[in-house]
Homo-oligomer: A and B are copies of this chain.
């Protein structure tokens, strides 16, 4: 694989120009805009090699070259440095995020901020319950047979759920139940709760047994199975930038994918600690998103990761800039969470 330095420089130049102009780039334009020190003919030879290796391609026989997904991949891995943020961007981030009063508030501000800075679709995962601990469980009587269960996690997440009791339940019993579940569960990681919940049912005094059984079912459902993850989304209008050239004419598959929580979670949900992930075109597993790229990373207070965030845009995107922004936003959000 004879990719010498100049060929790499040519590839880099092609990616940069194509991202900037949205038009196939030819050999003449390339030597004019970059100091390559060689003639167009030489560049053409290099291009032929790059094409053979699958890094670029020609839309039509007599057009300029366009990077392939593989070309972007090489560019991201070896040819680009992460762009440092401008002071203006840093300031924008801070200004946007200070004054958040709430986890909800933080998440919504973050997702709007990301969409605005990157001019793409932004997705933020709420802190994952699986990675949170129970801070407090509250039981609020709604009627004689109904309780509202409210769980507050250390990450700031609050989940609530209505519990339909099998029989009317006296106020004192509610107090007892509240005390019992908190004694047992407060402070534990949510992923560790299922056996503890089971134990609760077994240990509880007989007169509370039926109530606790119902409660435990709902607990398990709410805390572990259902809604486990939540997402915020913003900037879908950015999909229409660049006319219909990106996304080969139809936003449909993209919009469909964006409505599927499961898909988004797979894309931006955190995985390995703190690595920034870049999925280019068909590298991601969803057919609907073959024309899109995703840049995502984990965030969390300090070194721990509690959730993921990222952006989705055309494969033709400014990777260095986007990566830098995503990372910076994630770091700021982490700091914000650490303060609480």
Q: Which residues of A contact B (CB under 8 A)?
A: 101-102, 104, 135-136, 138, 140-142, 148, 150, 152, 156, 158, 160-162, 227, 234-237, 239-240, 244, 250-252, 255-256, 258-259, 340
Cβ-defined contact, B259 with A251, below 8 A: no
Which of B142, B158, B259 is within 8 Å of A148, CB to CB? B158
Cβ-defined contact, B140 with A148, below 8 A: no
Which of B138, B140, B148, B239 is within 8 Å of A255, CB to CB? B239
Interface majority SS (helix, strand, loop, mixed), chain A: mixed
Cβ-defined contact, B259 with A240, below 8 A: no
Residues of B within 8 A of A251 (CB): 240, 251
Once bound together, how far apart are the Cα atoms of A152 and B140, in whole Å? Answer: 9
Which of B138, B234, B250, B252 is within 8 Å of A150, CB to CB? B138
User: Nearest Cβ in chain B — how far from A299, in angstroms?
Assistant: 19
User: Nearest Cβ in chain B — how far from A143, in angstroms?
Assistant: 9
Cβ-defined contact, B161 with A160, below 8 A: no
Once bound together, how far apart are the Cα atoms of A237 and B252, in whole Å? Answer: 5
Once bound together, how far apart are the Cα atoms of A106 and B93, in whole Å? Answer: 35
Cβ-defined contact, A138 with B138, below 8 A: yes
Once bound together, how far apart are the Cα atoms of A102 and B148, in whole Å? Answer: 10
User: Nearest Cβ in chain B — how far from A161, in angstroms?
Assistant: 6
User: Nearest Cβ in chain B — how far from A337, in angstroms?
Assistant: 12
Once bound together, how far apart are the Cα atoms of A239 and B148, in whole Å? Answer: 38
Nearest B residue to A108 via CB reads: B227
User: Nearest Cβ in chain B — how far from A35, in angstroms?
Assistant: 38
Nearest B residue to A161 via CB reads: B102
Nearest B residue to A141 via CB reads: B136
Cβ-defined contact, B158 with A152, below 8 A: no
User: Nearest Cβ in chain B — how far from A133, in angstroms?
Assistant: 13
Once bound together, how far apart are the Cα atoms of A101 and B225, in whole Å? Answer: 14
User: Nearest Cβ in chain B — how far from A250, in angstroms?
Assistant: 6
Residues of B within 8 A of A252 (CB): 237, 240
Nearest B residue to A146 via CB reads: B340
Residues of B within 8 A of A156 (CB): 162
Could you give 13 example pairs across A and B, Cβ below 8 Å? Answer: A101-B161, A104-B227, A138-B140, A138-B150, A140-B150, A140-B152, A158-B160, A236-B258, A237-B252, A237-B256, A237-B258, A240-B250, A240-B251
Nearest B residue to A156 via CB reads: B162
Residues of B within 8 A of A152 (CB): 140, 142, 148, 160
Once bound together, how far apart are the Cα atoms of A150 and B141, in whole Å? Answer: 13
Closest 8 CB pairs of A and B: A237-B255, A240-B252, A237-B256, A158-B160, A236-B255, A136-B140, A240-B251, A148-B152
